[in-house]
Chains A and B, each alone.
Chain A
Amino acid sequence: MKKDYLWDKTGNDAEIERLENALQEFRSKNTTPPEIPSKTFAFDRTALPNPNPRRFFKLAWTGFAAAAGLLIFSIGIFQVLNFEKQETAKTQPEQTSNEKSTENLPIAVEEKPSDEKSSEAIDETKPKVVKAKSYPQRNRAKRFVKNKKRVSVEPSANKTIAGTVKPVKKDLPDDETLILTKEEKQAYDQLMKALAITSSSLKTVKDKAQGIEE
Chain B
Amino acid sequence: MSESGILQNIFFPARSKTCGSSPTEEKQKEEAMLVERVCAGEKQAFDEFYRKLSPLVHGIILAKVPRDEVDDIVQEVFISAFQKLHTLRDKNAVSPWIASIARNRAVEFYRRHKPTVELSENLSHNGNAKNEALEILEAIRELPETYRETLILRLVEGLTGPEIAEQTGLKHESVRVNLHRGMKILRKKLGIEV
- Residues of A whose CB lies within 8 Å of any CB of B are 4, 6-9, 15-16, 19-20, 22-28, 30-31, 33-34, 36, 40-43, 45, 47, 49
Contact = CB atoms under 8 A, between A and B. Distances in A.
A20 B132 contact: no
Contacts of B129: 22
Contacts of A16: 155, 183
B79 A26 contact: no
B63 to A, nearest CB: 11
Nearest to A38: B43
Interface of B: 41, 43, 46-47, 49-51, 54-55, 58-59, 62, 67, 71, 74-75, 78-79, 82-83, 86-87, 129-130, 132-133, 136-137, 154-158, 160-162, 176, 179-180, 183, 187, 192, 194
B179 A23 contact: no
B161 A33 contact: no
A23 B55 CA distance: 14
B59 A6 contact: no
B49 to A, nearest CB: 8
A36 B82 contact: yes
Nearest to A44: B86
A26 B51 contact: no
If over half of B's interface residues share one DSSP class (helix, strand or loop), that class is named, otherwise mixed; here it is: helix
Given A43-B41, A47-B86, 17 more contacts: A6-B161, A6-B180, A7-B176, A7-B179, A8-B160, A15-B192, A16-B183, A19-B136, A24-B156, A26-B137, A26-B156, A28-B55, A28-B58, A28-B157, A33-B46, A33-B51, A34-B75
Given A7-B176, A16-B183, A25-B133, A33 B47 contact: yes
B191 to A, nearest CB: 12
B149 to A, nearest CB: 14
B74 A25 contact: no
A33 B54 CA distance: 9
B71 A27 contact: no
Contacts of A6: 154, 161, 179-180, 183
Contact of B87 (A41, A45, A49): A49
A12 to B, nearest CB: 14
A43 B85 CA distance: 11
24 contacts: A6-B161, A7-B161, A8-B162, A9-B160, A15-B194, A16-B155, A20-B155, A20-B158, A22-B132, A23-B136, A23-B156, A24-B156, A24-B158, A25-B133, A26-B133, A26-B137, A27-B157, A28-B58, A28-B59, A30-B54, A33-B51, A36-B46, A42-B41, A43-B41
